[in-house]
Each structure stands twice: as structure tokens, then as C-alpha cells.
Structure 1
Amino acid sequence: MQEWHKYDTSDFGYLDSLGYDRIIEEAQQERYSIRSLSNFSSLHSSLDCRTDADLDPMAPLCIGMDYNANINWIVCGQPRGNRLNVLKSFYVKFECKIPALIADFCAYYAPHANHSVINNYYDATALGSNYVVNDQDFHWVVVHEFERNGWAVNDVYIGNPMRHDEKYLLINQGFSGKQRLMPYFNRQNNDDLILAVQSAGVERGRNGFRKNKSTEKNPESEEDLLEHRTDGTDAFDTLYIGCEKFPQHDFYGGFVGGVR
């Protein structure tokens, strides 16, 4: 990942309609930090996908997920031409599990115009086990929760997890523009994911280079937060591999919003 793989985009017209322009003006006049204002905090917590100028409102959303006892992730994106725009990432920690994670996602994307389908990319790790919710496997819980929240799911099974060395090569070629899709990250919606991707270590295994995931099971500390480890990067990997290797019907030919 390079700096130019990140972008900034917001629908400032929508933000101003909510009063952001007045909040900024007040902060400037009083020389306050914007985030210290109580009306900013309450407004910021209520924002949804209407603030995102990179969202194609007519195209389905694509997701990759990662499942863990202590942290669970959704990374959401949309292919647009030769880009994969990573629109937003979500995670929940500790006692909050997959239903809470999907509820957060569905609340944020409730205004999204295309509720007909969500492309859910998943591999074999989602099948046959579930140590975080109940007796059903991860895949069943995910589909059940999306449908319960009013979304239709287009399941896209991508098979057994890709070998580390193959995944390492594929995604690095993606960042270098040597694959069909190049990933770009919405900066304001993926701050923890971007840090996790940039800090993910690499080690040499018996099959070549691979991601160093050795710290995933360590207790969390202020210096080593769960959201900055490799769990979120695995969710991104699933999203990228799915969109690159298993493209669905091409809804993405047009241009809508602020980012091509």
C-alpha cells in the first residue's frame, strides 16, 4: 500500500444539510477543536452512507469477513472499472459478536438504494464451526442476520483459503496494478484497517513469504489494539480475492459520486 492507494471523499452537500458547516464555523470562531463540541459528537455518531461520495447507490455492496473469538470484521467495497474501492470497514470486539456487527453494517447502509443483493464472499473457514455465536456455523449466522435485517444475500463461495504465498503475490500485484483490480481505501472510513494493513508483518514460511499472524491471540493492550492486528487484513484479503477472482454480474460500468 502506498499513499496514493488512499483517497478522501465526502458528500459535503449532505453534510452541510445536517449542520456541519455551522459546527465548523462555531469551532473556528471559538478556537475549539471540532471533535470537542458536543453537537459534533452527537451528529457524527448518527452519520450513515449518505455522507460517502464514493458509494455507487445503484450497485450492490461486496463484503469480506473475518471471524474471531475476540474481534470480528466486515470490509465492504465496490468494484468500479479497474478499481476496488474499499468503502468502509466495521468491527466489534469481545462480548459483541456477529449479530451486532451486521446490525452496525445494516444501520449504516440502510439508506443505500440497492437492497436487492449483497455479494458475500466467504471461504471454507466460514463453514462447519462457530465459536462465537451459537451451534450454527459462521456462514449460516451471517446470512440469517442479513436477511433478518432486510437484505438479500448473494453467496459467493471462494473455496479453501488461498495459500499464503499465492495470496501474497496476488494482492501485492493488485497494489502494483498488475491484476484486474487495484485496491483503493476510503481514508476516513478505514482508519484502523489502513493501519492494520500497513503494519502487517511478513515472514518466510516453508512455502515462501506469508503474513505474520503470530500476535492475533495475544491479550489486548493500549499499545497493541485488536483492531490493528491482522484479523481485519484477512477480511480485506477475502474481499479482494472474491472481487478479483470471482466477479459477479457487472453493475459497475457507470460513474456515480466523487471517485472513479
Structure 2
Amino acid sequence: MVSNDDIIELIKWNPTSAAVLGQVANEVLLPEEQKFFVKHRTLSQFKAMLVDANEMTLVMPRGTGKTEKIHAYRSYRCCTRMPGARGGFVGQSYLKLFENIMPGLIKGWKDLGWQRNVDFWVKERPPKHLGIPEPYGETLDYSHAITTRSGAAMQLISQDRKGSANSMTLHWVQGDEKKLLDKNSIDTELRQANRGDTHLSYAHLPEFHSWLWTTDMPTDQDTMWVLEEEKAAHPERVQLLLDIQLDIYELFQKLLIAHESRRKGILEKIGRLQTYWDAIRRSTFFYHEPKGHDNMEGFGIKQILDLKRTLPSFVFFTSILNKRPFLTEHSFYPDLRDKLHCYDATDYKYVDDNLDKVLSDEGFLFDDCRKDADYNPHAPLAIGLDYGAVINTLSIGQTLHFDLKVINSMYVKHPERLKNLIFKFIDYYRFSKCKIVYYFYDHTAIATNASSDISYADEVTDIFKTNGWKVERCYIGHTPSPKKRFEDWGVSLKGGNDEIFRTIFNRGNNEYLLTAMRLAQIKQGAKGFEKDKTKERDLKIDQRETTHFTDSVDTLLVGCNKFLLNNKRIGFDVAT
């Protein structure tokens, strides 16, 4: 039999039913004082709710309500239908979970009627006087969990803390940005955790041991495994689930105008269809990849156009329009692999101490070097730059043994100038205990021109000195040939050579740099092959995705190999 709660839940997602039932609620099953609000929903959000399969992977653009609408709804369902159950929300890092995911979840739960510290609690145990039981299983780490009035809880799981899901007992799993998660960890650690406990009273529900993954479009070879999941999906079952929901909806429409003598029969039909729906979705995998951005109304066309103007076109087409990427076969950095060369590094002592500020309304952001666990505040920083009128870019690294860690990268675009970029660096690293910079520069930084009698190198040096930094100027000479740089990067990315640093990248701090490296191509020039810089001259293309960023990191690698490898430290021009 369909309950009052089932109807309430249906109308939260169905504007037509909400409008009608809101007028005649007292004549159906609903209390007279019940209020209904028509909320904007996208086609993808409707599909996710109407299918609600046991396992779902949704590859959707940014700004389509993945967290606020889809994850909030699934977690709400799991917590209310499975009292005392224990779920897991998986993220690349706790920083991203609390900074990017939690605000959306909380907003989504509020839309569903939950209130914080009444229906759910973040990072704390519910008050004892409420008598809410502990969730089933091992002791809960409340500092990284959300608890609910039903006794169900959701543990936040960070993949950058190895083994964070080990020995856990989970009854459902959700996660965002699946493309950035470790597939092996999902297939082993999480699969081991999300199983068993079939004796529990809610083990028959489709939500039990369910999986919900969302992500925007994968953009490199190492993340294409997400798109391969489409082959394992069950489109026929998905269509059947949608057909059943349509039948249920039509029966509800009949219920609204049916004579009282017919209502019982209609409700019995709805109940049978609901039973079929539950049975089918228990064994269904739903893969969804909408074509284009399906939230134009909610996201706003102006916002879409603004993003088209401000985002690199590669990022815009993949993350906003959800187009599968074209991965070049003639890459200047063919050995670059996300899984091998990118890492996550968050200082969780600092983050944990300040998470409450992120969840408050203070507008606090982790936007300086204190959040970076790979940054050594007691060691110098090495920098390489690329200079230009349209964009100036900066790559930042530190070395450890035979590793060059590219810990950050920055840029400014016209009308901001080189000085603004250096000020940006100084502000980000204002908490450094060692204000020393190894400044690597080539012949392009020492010339002057008609508009200025000071070179780029002198300008950079003067700004650092004026702001209390010591600069060790390291002139690398003329930029090495494209062939030499291509070969050096091949050795660097493969590793194992004590004449060239192995280079690795902080994934979170180098989004545009990594995008530019993935898109950089080679072409045939007059003196052999070279880096293709054609796009630098096309100002219709966002210059963050062209080779400007790659030139700055080329300079960084060349400089580190020449001056810092094996503690060479020769030829410095020290400016204090």
C-alpha cells in the first residue's frame, strides 16, 4: 500500500502533482495543513530519482545539481528508509568533501525538510537526551561523519588518507568526482566494506548496498575507465523503471478525480507497481551521460556564456557541455599520466582545525599555503615564468631527493601584469618561514623594450626584494631546443635517471597547467619538430589552455636540473 509519506515524496519531485494536491490535499490522504512548493528540476535530476537504481554512475556537467539535488536525495532516502544504517560518502580529500560537497548536501537536505541540529548533525554526536541509537557496526568517528535522527549515519571517506575505509561496515556508498578517485581502491577496499549484514531488517531494500557516483567528464587516458562503465549498464531495465513510474504517475492523476469507491483499487495498483519498481531497481545499473548542459534554466544562460568566456575551451566543452574529449595523438608530453604523476596533498591538521569556518557563513576559504601538505615552509621555492601581454604564468616547485614537486601554478590575464602575478605569489606564501626564491629565467627575461627600460628579470627581482624575499637568480641561458625539452620530459616523467629530476604535480593546485600540458602538441618546423604555439596567436582561444603555462614549467624543470640536482647550486646571482 502506498503511504502518506510516499505521496509527499512524489510531489516534492513532481510540480504538476504538487500544484493539484496542494489544492485538494484534504480530499486525498494528506493533512490539510501540508504545504507544497514547486521546485525547478532538470531532466537528469528527474531521471536519477525515477530510476533510483541500486548502482548509478552519472557523468554530468558542472552546475547540474549533482550534490544538492541528486546526492542529497539519495542520502535522504537511505537514512530515512534504513534507520541505523551506515553509509559512506567518498571524496578525493576531506578538504574537497567539506569545502565543495557539504554545503550542497546541507542545502539539499533543507529543501527536503531537514534542519541541521534537529534532523542531522555534522561532525558531532546527537544530544543524548534525544535517545538516538548508535548506527549499526563499529564505533563511529564523529569528527568525520554526519548523523541523523533515524540513527543512520554517513561516514566521510577520503581517498588521500590511505585505508580510510579499511575495516568499515557500510550499507551504501556515494561519491563525487569519480574520475579523480582511485579505481583499485573502489574495486577492493570499498567493495569489501559495502557488503554483508544481510540479516538486517532493511536488507531487502534497493538502497541496501547501493552505489551512487557522479563526476564531470573525464579528460585524460587514465580516467577513461569511468566512461567504459556504460558498457555494463542496463538500459532496458532503466526504460522499464521509467515506464513504471509513468504508470504510477498516471494512476495518481486518476486518484485525484476518482470517486471514493475507486480509490482503494487505484492505490492497490500503485502499490503493486511500486513493488515491481523496487524489485527491478535492486539489480539495475544506471549509467547516465546527458548531451550538453541540461540545466540552462536553473544555471542561467548568462552564467553559461560567462563560463565560455572565462574557462579554457577544453574545460568548457568537457566540464560544462559534457562533451567527450579529443585526446591528441601528437602530444608534447606523451608520458604524462594522472595516476602516475599527480597527487593530492592536504594538511589535515590545519584543515580539520578550520572546517567549521568553511561550514559557517563567514566565507572562509583555504586559499593560502597553509593547506598544502606537500609544501615545506622551511625550504626555498623554485619558480619558472612565461611572460606576455595577454597572460603571464608561473610554475612553482620544491625538490626532494630526485623528485621535483610542482606544488602550485598561477597566472594573471590582461589587464593585470607581471607585477600582479608576483604579488599573488607573495600573498599565497605569506606564511613561509623561508622567504628564498630560486628564480630560473632564460634569454626572454633579460631584454628591455621601447615601453620599459627594465627587464622582466629585474622587475621580478625588485618586487620580491621590496617585499622581504631573497632571490637567487639562476640564468639558464637560451631556452633549450624543443627536441631537448621533449626528450628531457620523457626521461623526467618516466623517472629512474639520476641526471634529471622525476617530476610530479599537485593535482588540486595545477588544474590549468595540467590541462595545457595535456593539450600541447608537436608540429614539424624548419629545424625539425617543435612545440606547436599556433594557438598562442589566436586570441579567441583562452590562453590558459595554450602553451604559455607549459613554457613556465619547462623553465622550472630546466632550471632545477641545471642548478639544484645533486645540490649543484652553482652560478647563482643572489639578490637580497
Using structure 1 for the length normalisation, give the TM-score.
Answer: 0.83
Match of 1:16 among 338, 352, 372: 352
Distance in 1 separating the partners of 2:415 and 2:566: 37
Change (3 A) 1:249 1:176: closer
Distance in 1 separating the partners of 2:565 and 2:469: 17
- Of Structure 1 and Structure 2, which has the larger fraction of its residues in strand? 1
Q: Is 1:245 aligned to residue 562 of structure 2?
A: yes
Runs of at least 5 residues in structure 2 that lack an aligned partner in the other structure: 1-335, 569-576
Match of 1:197 among 497, 517, 520: 517
Distance in 1 separating the partners of 2:400 and 2:449: 33
Q: Which residues of 2 match residues 94-133 of structure 1 at below 5 A?
A: 94-115=414-435, 117-129=436-448
Match in the other structure for 2:470:
152
Q: Is the 8 A contact 1:119 1:155 kept in 2?
A: yes
Q: Secondary structure at the match of 2:512?
A: helix
Q: Which residues of 2 match residues 69-218 of structure 1 at below 5 A?
A: 69-115=389-435, 117-129=436-448, 134-177=452-495, 178=497, 179-218=499-538
How far did residue 250 of structure 1 move?
3.8
Q: Is the 8 A contact 1:77 1:86 kept in 2?
A: yes
Counterpart of 1:6, as a letter, is C
Match in the other structure for 2:543:
226
How far did residue 173 of structure 1 move?
1.5
Change (3 A) 1:203 1:12: same
Change (3 A) 1:12 1:101: same
Distance in 2 separating the partners of 1:125 and 1:248: 24
Distance in 2 separating the partners of 1:249 and 1:43: 41
Distance in 1 separating the partners of 2:426 and 2:356: 24
Change (3 A) 1:158 1:69: same
Counterpart of 1:225, as a letter, is D
Counterpart of 1:7, as a letter, is Y
Q: Is the 8 A contact 2:396 2:406 kept in 1?
A: yes
Counterpart of 1:152, as a letter, is K
Distance in 2 separating the partners of 1:22 and 1:200: 36
How far did residue 63 of structure 1 move?
0.2
Change (3 A) 1:196 1:20: farther
Q: Is the 8 A contact 1:60 1:119 kept in 2?
A: yes
Q: Secondary structure at the match of 2:503?
A: strand
Change (3 A) 1:122 1:43: same
Distance in 2 separating the partners of 1:171 and 1:120: 20
How far did residue 204 of structure 1 move?
2.0
Q: Is the 8 A contact 2:446 2:457 kept in 1?
A: yes
Distance in 1 separating the partners of 2:516 and 2:377: 28
Larger radius of gyration between Structure 1 and Structure 2: 2
Q: Is the 8 A contact 2:358 2:364 kept in 1?
A: no
How far did residue 248 of structure 1 move?
7.0
The CA deviation string for residues 28-51 of structure 1, in whole angstroms up to 9 with x for no partner, is xxxxxxxxxx65xx322x621010
Change (3 A) 1:202 1:228: same
Counterpart of 1:158, as a letter, is I
Counterpart of 1:43, as a letter, is F
- Of Structure 1 and Structure 2, which has the larger fraction of its residues in helix? 2
Change (3 A) 1:19 1:228: same
Greater RCO (CA < 8 Å, at least 6 residues apart): 1
The number of aligned residues is 230
Q: Secondary structure at the match of 1:111?
A: coil
Q: Secondary structure at the match of 2:536?
A: coil
RMSD, matched Cα: 2.0
Q: Is the 8 A contact 1:61 1:78 kept in 2?
A: yes
Counterpart of 1:112, as a letter, is S
Using structure 2 for the length normalisation, give the TM-score.
Answer: 0.38
Counterpart of 2:547, as a letter, is T
The CA deviation string for residues 162-214 of structure 1, in whole angstroms up to 9 with x for no partner, is 11111111112211114531110101100010100111011122333221011
Counterpart of 1:59, as a letter, is A
How far did residue 100 of structure 1 move?
0.6
